[in-house]
Amino acid sequence: MHSFGHHAWSHVRGIERLSLCDWPGHAAAVLFTGGCNLRCPTCHNAEMAWAPGRLPALDRGEVLGLLSRRAKWLDGITVTGGEPTLVPGLMDLLTDLADLGLPVKLDTNGMRPGVVRSLLAAGLVRTFAVDVKGPYAKYPALTGDGVDAATARTNLEAIFRMAAQAPGAFYFRTTRVPMLQDEDMDTIRGLLPAGFTLVEQKYVAPQRRTDAQTDSQARQLPGDLVPGTYRPGHIQGAQGQRHQGSHPLQAAGA
């Protein structure tokens, strides 16, 4: 394996052994990668996204062994974050997962369409779950100034073009955070390629450690990573809603 493959595993900071609601219609294990290129103030994975260094990396061999032992009970694996498309050597990590014989869903905010395009072409991801935060004009506020409206539009339009060409490989979702009104949800639906239905996720306010940082408090890390930590457990999809629970290494037990 390329050395980047092992480096990619150093970004895996949490695992959920079984989720029945993360990938609709699938019993899935969930891997969490640390770091994000956005600073959404409503993030349920704030600690994982903003300070991945606070969490120990999970051991590649132990995780693959766990997934291999549980494969007969699983329909797939979700890779989420944070933002997985930031991980160096992500393709090698996904190749490791493909060797288990299970399909992979990848959660993304869509801000790195070039990575999504490469993964789609390689056939390493069965489904991309893309979080559309809101109308383009609201992206700066919704993402803690993590991305401007014009950049969000450019990136998402590239994703939408891919989805139009490979409709079975994508679905789109939006968490109805307090900033979004009915007309905003209508605007988002209008952005999607023909034939796609927006999955609307209910917003639940995050329960966050008192020392968790948001927005302008967050210190930018090299490689567009934003400092935080994470605790496993979720409601609907990692990028949208996740509760905080046990330590990730505890979650990785057999």
Question: pLDDT tens digits, residue range 134-157?
Answer: 999 999 999 999 999 999 999 999
Question: pLDDT tens digits, residue range 164-185?
Answer: 999 999 999 999 999 999 999 9
In the predicted model, is pLDDT for residue 41 greater than 50? yes
Cα 37 to Cα 26: distance, rounded to the nearest angstrom: 28
Q: What is the pLDDT of residue 224?
A: 34
Q: What is the pLDDT of residue 209?
A: 52
Q: Which of 7-11, 64-68, 226-230 has the highest mean pLDDT?
A: 64-68
Q: How many domains does the chain have?
A: 1
| 79 phi, psi to nearest 5 deg | -110, 120
**pLDDT tier, 7 (very low <50, low <70, confident <90, very high otherwise):** confident
Nearest-5° Cα angle at 85, 82 to 86: 75
Mapping DSSP to helix (H, G, I), strand (E, B) and coil, where does residue 239 land?
coil
**pLDDT tier, 46 (very low <50, low <70, confident <90, very high otherwise):** confident
Does residue 45 or residue 112 have the better pLDDT? 112
Mapping DSSP to helix (H, G, I), strand (E, B) and coil, where does residue 134 land?
coil
In the predicted model, is pLDDT for residue 103 greater than 50? yes
In the predicted model, is pLDDT for residue 65 greater than 80? yes
pTM of the model: 0.82
Q: What is the pLDDT of residue 232?
A: 38
With b for 16 or more beta-carbon neighbours within 10 A and e for fewer, the 234-248 pattern comes to bbbbbbbbbebeeeb
Q: Which domain holds residue 33?
A: 3-251
Q: Could you tell me the CATH number of the domain that includes residue 78? A: 3.20.20.70
In the predicted model, is pLDDT for residue 71 greater than 90? yes
Q: What is the pLDDT of residue 207?
A: 74
In the predicted model, is pLDDT for residue 203 greater than 70? yes
In the predicted model, is pLDDT for residue 1 greater than 60? no
| 105 phi, psi to nearest 5 deg | -105, 135
Q: What is the pLDDT of residue 208?
A: 56
Between the CA atoms of 222, 226, 228 and 231, what dihedral angle is there, to the nearest 10 degrees?
-110
Does residue 251 or residue 169 have the better pLDDT? 169
Q: What is the pLDDT of residue 228?
A: 33
